[in-house]
Amino acid sequence: MKKWFFILGMAMTSFRAIAAPDVSVACAAFKSGDLNYVEIYLNFVGSKLEQEQVDSIRARAHVEVTIYLKLKDSTIHAEKYRLKSPAALDPVNFIDQKRYALRNGHYDIVVEVVDLVDSAKAKSQIRSWVNVDFDKLSLRQSDIELLAAYQQDSSKNHPLVKNGYFLEPLPFSYYDRRYKYLSFYSEIYNSDKGLGDEFLFSYAIVNAKDAENEKNVIIGHKKRKGEVFIANLIQIDISELPSGNYKLVTSIRNRANDLLDQKEIFFQRSNPDLDLSKKAQNMDTDALMEEFVGKMEPEQLRFSLKAIAMLVKDADVSRLNVVLEKKDTMAQRRFLYQYWFGQNHQMPENAHDQYMYVARQVDKLYKSGFGYGFETDRGIIYMKYGRPTDIITVENEMNAPPYEIWVYNAIESKEQTNVKFLFYNPDLSANGYRLLHSSCRGELSNPRWQFELYRNAQSLPNNGLDVMGENQNQRAVKLFNE
C-alpha cells in the first residue's frame, strides 16, 4: 500500500469517486443527529506534481484547490485554498479532507487543482456529485466509503477517526494487485422504527461489465438489531476476484425480505496474478504436456506435490489432497504447473527446480519411516522458513528427551525477529523430533511446553502454576529464553 500523508481541512464523512490524472475526488453523505453533512477527500499523487526545493535534498508539491458546491446550477458554496505536501527526498502522496453541512438535495461538486510549482500552472478539473436524502424518522443508509486500510484508534477529534477506527480512504476507487481485501464503512439510521427486533444487512460485489445482466460475484449478510444508529465496518476477501469493473451494493431487508433501502458504489479491480493463474488452470492438455510437468513421471509428480503441501493456500489444500488421492497424473501436472506459474510467471520451471533441490536435501536430512523428510515437523519448518540461523542440540540432559532449539534472527514473511522453535523426541526414534513450542506467529505455541518436556522429572513444583521454575536440570528454559 502506498504511503499517504494527511492534510486535514474541516471535519467529518462521505464517498463517490471520479479520477483525474493527478488527483481523485471522493465524496459521501452522512448524518449525525439533525445534521446532514458531506465529506470530500482529495487524493494527490505526488509523482504527478512538480516539486519545489525546500533545502538541498528535500522538495514538496504546492497546489491551489478550489471547491464549488452547486445545487440546481447555483453555487451555494465556494472555497479556495493552498496546500503543500510534506517535504521529502522523493515525491509523496497526500490527502486533504473537507466537510460541509448541507440540506437535503442533489449536489454537483467541482474541484479545480492548479499546480503552483509548474511554470505553466497546469490545471485539473474534477466533477463529482452527491445526493443528500435524510430525515429524522425514515430508515436510511449513508453512502459507502471504500477504504485503503483501517485500524483501531481512540482519538476523539481526528477527522478520519469514526467509532474508534482510523479510516484511510481508498484513492481512485481502485484495488490493485496488492489488495487482498476490500474494506468499506457505512452507517444505518433509524432502523429501530418499524423493523422489529432484527433485520438483514446485505452486501454484494456485482459485475458491472454488463449493466443489464448484473451478476453477484461475492455476497454476504449480517443480522442487525434495530437501533437509532449502526456503524458497519466490513472486510471482504477479494484475492480471488478477477480484474474488471464492479459495483459494491449494500441492502437492507426486513423479515419478509422486502427491500427497504439500497446503496451502491463503483470500483475497479486489477488482479493480474489471478488472471494469469486462471490462464494456466485452463491450459489445454497438449500445451500442458509441452511444459516441464509433462516430462515428469508419476513418482516425481507425487514427490513434488508433497513438497509444496505446506505452502499452498488453505483453500487449495483439499484440492491437492484429492489430486494426490485419485492419482490422476494430468490433474497432478495441472495443479503443480499452476502453483509454480503463480510463483514465477516468467520461469515457473526454474522456480520449481530451485525449490525441489532444497526439498531433496531436506528429505535426506530428516527422512523417517513414516514419510518424506520434508513432511516431518523439522522438515516442514525448514521448507517454510529456510535454514535456521542457529541450531542448539541437546541429547543427554537429565529428565528430558533429546531436543533441538532452532533460532531465526528474522523471518520476513512474519515480520518477526529472534524467532525460536523447540523440537523434542519423546519416543527416541530416528528423526522422530516433533514440534513442541515456538514463538513464531501462526505456528504451535504451547504455554505448558516445559511440563511436557520434563514430564519424566523426579519432582515438579506443586505451585498450581503453568510455569516451571528454572534449575540446573532444566536447561531448555534458559536456552529458549536467552
- Dump pLDDT digits (tens) for 210-263: 545 556 688 899 888 889 999 999 999 998 888 889 999 999 998 888 899 999
The reported pLDDT for the residue numbered 214 is 58
Using alpha carbons, select from 453, 390, 449, 454 the residue that is nearest to residue 420. 390
Instruction: Give the distance, in angstroms, between the CA of residue 372 and the centroid of all CA atoms in the same chain.
Output: 34
Domain 1-134 has CATH 2.60.40.10: yes
Average pLDDT for 428-450 = 92
Residue 293, pLDDT above cutoff 50: yes
Reported as a pLDDT band with limits 50, 70 and 90, residue 467 is very low
**Helices H / strands E in the chain, number of each:** 9, 26
Q: Which amino acid is at 32?
A: S
> Is the model's pLDDT at 5 over the cut of 80?
no
Q: Work out the average pLDDT over 457-467.
A: 48
C-alpha cell at 385: 522458513
Residue 373 clears pLDDT 90, i.e. is over it: yes
Give the model's pLDDT for residue 134.
93
Asked whether the predicted pLDDT for residue 13 surpasses 50, the reply is no
Q: Are strands 35-44 and 93-101 parallel, antiparallel or unpaired?
A: antiparallel
**What pLDDT sits at residue 474?**
80
Other C-beta atoms within 10 Å of 238: how many? 21
First to last CA, the chain: 36
- More confident site: 148 or 3: 148
The mean pLDDT value of the chain amounts to: 87
What integer pLDDT is reported at residue 4 of this predicted model? 55
pLDDT score of 371: 85
User: According to the model, what pLDDT value does residue 198 have?
Assistant: 85
Torsion angles phi and psi, residue 243, rounded to 5: -60, 140
Provide DSSP, 381-404: HHHHH-S-SEEEEE---TTS--EE
Split at pLDDT 50, 70, 90, the class of 315 is confident
Task: Report residue 277's pLDDT band, with 50, 70 and 90 as the boundaries.
Answer: low
- pLDDT category at 11 given cuts 50, 70, 90 is very low
Q: Note the pLDDT of residue 465.
A: 43
User: Quick check: helix, strand or coil at residue 147?
Assistant: strand
Global pTM value = 0.60
pLDDT tens for residues 170-200? Answer: 999 999 988 999 999 999 999 988 676 789 9
Exposed/middle/buried for residue 451 (C-beta within 10 Å: 0-12, 13-18, 19+): middle
Q: Are strands 35-44 and 62-71 parallel, antiparallel or unpaired?
A: unpaired
pLDDT at 138: 87
Q: Which whole number is the average pLDDT over 117-133?
A: 91
How far is residue 66's CA from residue 51's CA, in Å, rounded to a whole number? 20
- Report the pLDDT value the prediction gives residue 10, as an integer from 0 to 100: 40
Residue whose C-alpha cell is 465524496? 27
Mean pLDDT, to the nearest integer, of 374-394? 95
d(CA 204, CA 208): 12
pLDDT of 36 above 70: yes
- Find out whether 396 and 414 touch, Cβ atoms under 8 Å: no
The band of 15, judged by pLDDT with boundaries at 50, 70 and 90, is: very low
- Residue 257: Cβ-neighbour burial (10 angstroms; 0-12, 13-18, 19+): exposed
**pLDDT mean over 129-149:** 92
Domain boundaries, the chain: 1-134, 273-368, 379-481
- pLDDT category at 346 given cuts 50, 70, 90 is confident
Mean pLDDT, range 369-397, rounded to an integer: 93
pLDDT of the residue at 464: 43
Looking at residue 240, its pLDDT comes to 84
3-state secondary structure 109-159: EEEEEEECCCCCCCEEEEEEEEEECCCCCCCEECCCEEEEEEEECCCCCCC
pLDDT category, 280, cuts 50, 70, 90? low
Q: Report the pLDDT value the prediction gives residue 414, as an integer from 0 to 100.
A: 87
Report the candidate in 242, 315, 294 with the shortest Cα–Cα distance to residue 272. 242
pLDDT of residue 279: 66
Q: Is residue 45 predicted with pLDDT exceeding 70?
A: yes
| pLDDT computed for residue 345 by the predictor | 81
Which residue's C-alpha cell is 430508515?
Answer: 139
